[in-house]
A and B are shown apart, each in its own frame.
Chain A
Amino acid sequence: MANSQAMCTSFKSEILSGIHALGTTVTRAGTGADTIKAALYLASASLGAATTAYSATGEVSGAGYSAGGITATNATAPTSSGTTAYWTPSASFTYTNVTLTTSFDCVLVYNSTQSNKAISVHTFGAQTITAGTFVLSMPTNDASNALIRIA
């Protein structure tokens, strides 16, 4: 048996669950699972890796859509398989009976409980919705396909 250098898989999964706090001034707003939300953004917006928090700038607007987007269903805790930790919301993001006439191509997943801090940005082909429903289906929640993976 030999030692091997590695990032511990348990740590990756525990990062997603907020178990470790390596910062010097860490304040969590609560000890339960956080509320995760999903907001849609116009194709003209500039979200990406540098996005740090939810902002109404560039967010879609229109009948039936509430600023801040919808609350993600989060019934499945982060877990790991092999050396990959992963998490996926447990239901599709569904925006029902909305009219969004300016094209949008992006959803921001963010932590509403923790000062709206950003988690991930996902892009897709530009869409408009007219008196209809927009559905973003989630991928299979496993180490190969989950929405968020730390490998």
Chain B
Amino acid sequence: MIVNTTKGEIDDSLLEKREGAIDNDNENTTWVEYWLAGELVHRSAHVRLKKPIISISEAGSF
């Protein structure tokens, strides 16, 4: 697979791939990094938000 990097497009077989994830009440996030000779040349992330914004409305009393 060809990866877009700071050095241009490079085949992933030439890169070191690192992946990670975060999962908590607020989000589920995954990320992938590609390194070349100890240098970070690509990092992408995907955040899935879990916690919506909620506004509570009430009708006032007389």
Interfacial residues, chain A to chain B (CB-CB below 8 A): 5-7, 12, 86, 97, 99, 120, 122-125, 127-139, 145-151
Contacts and interface: CB of A to CB of B under 8 A. Distances in A.
B14 interface: no
Given A12-B57, A135-B47, A124 B52 contact: no
B50 A139 contact: yes
B57 A135 contact: no
B29 A125 contact: yes
Nearest to A145: B52
Nearest to A148: B53
A132 B53 contact: no
Contacts of B4: 97, 131-132
Contacts, number: 90
Interface residues of B, number: 30
Interface of B: 4-6, 22, 26-27, 29, 31-33, 40-50, 52-59, 61
Which DSSP category, helix, strand, loop or mixed, fits chain A's interface?
strand
A46 B40 CA distance: 29
Nearest to A4: B59
B43 A129 contact: yes
Given A99-B6, A146-B52, A147-B52, A127 B47 contact: yes
A47 to B, nearest CB: 13
B48 A137 contact: yes
Given A123-B26, A124-B26, A132 B54 contact: no
